[in-house]
Amino acid sequence: MDGTESSLHITSEDGTTHTFGETVAINSFNNQGGGILSVHSRADGENFLIFHNDRHGFVDWAFHNDGNDLVIQQSPINSPVDVVTFEYNVSSPKVGISCSPAYKLDVNGDIRVRGNDIRDNSGNAAITFDGSANTTINGYLNLKEKSSDPSNPSEGNSVLWMSDGTGTGDDGDILMKITAGGVTKTVTLVDFSAS
């Protein structure tokens, strides 16, 4: 990998230790680092299992440990990119896609839902999509009071919020900002003090 690999030792069932040097390769004909499959054991404690693609221009993949974490890596030799990280944590393991995870599932990028539902802890469909960018919330939508007005939405968009009386509206009012035709207007949907 970077010239710092140590030798790899494999112990058979009878206790015999076999030393293979810096890497072990299977079907070694790939000049990019040792065949279709190679194992790298580095002096810093990281180990790489690399799947080499023997066709020019195709991407190599690797599994390697980063401390106690397991990382699936793209192009491990030339331009490594961490694609999926499985973070070790006894009480709360985490998975990161294109990032080092800070939450149970941490995704750096857009998410596509192939099914129609996002389900809650009970298995109930909490949010449902219809495949045409329409969304149904199958329960209550809870709003929390905000102490300031939201920024003006971009053209053709709107934003809904509940006021605590600090900004626009009285405490408990439900308001909406709408931007259309280059003009932004604020309307009160629920006048809490009058209801």
**Range from 5-19, 137-151, 160-174 carrying the lowest mean pLDDT:** 5-19
Mean pLDDT over the full length of the chain: 80
Question: Which of 40, 15, 14 has its CA nearest to residue 25?
Answer: 40
Q: What digits encode the pLDDT tens for the residues 41-89?
A: 665 556 777 776 655 556 677 777 777 777 777 766 666 777 777 877 7
Burial of 66 (0-12, 13-18, 19+ CB in 10 A): middle
Residue 125 shares a structural domain with residue 168: no
Residue 67 shares a structural domain with residue 136: no
Residue 117 shares a structural domain with residue 177: no
**81, 71 in Cβ contact below 8 A?**
no
Supply the range of the domain harboring residue 99. Answer: 9-107
pTM of whole model > 0.75? no
The Cα 130–Cα 41 span in angstroms is 49
Burial of 101 (0-12, 13-18, 19+ CB in 10 A): buried
Taking residues 84-104, report their average pLDDT. Answer: 82
Q: Label residue 26 by pLDDT band (50, 70, 90).
A: low
Count of domains in the chain?
3
Residue 91 shares a structural domain with residue 123: no
Residue 75 shares a structural domain with residue 94: yes
For residue 74, being part of any structural domain is answered with yes
Q: 117: phi > 0 → left, psi -120 to 50 → alpha, else beta; which?
A: beta
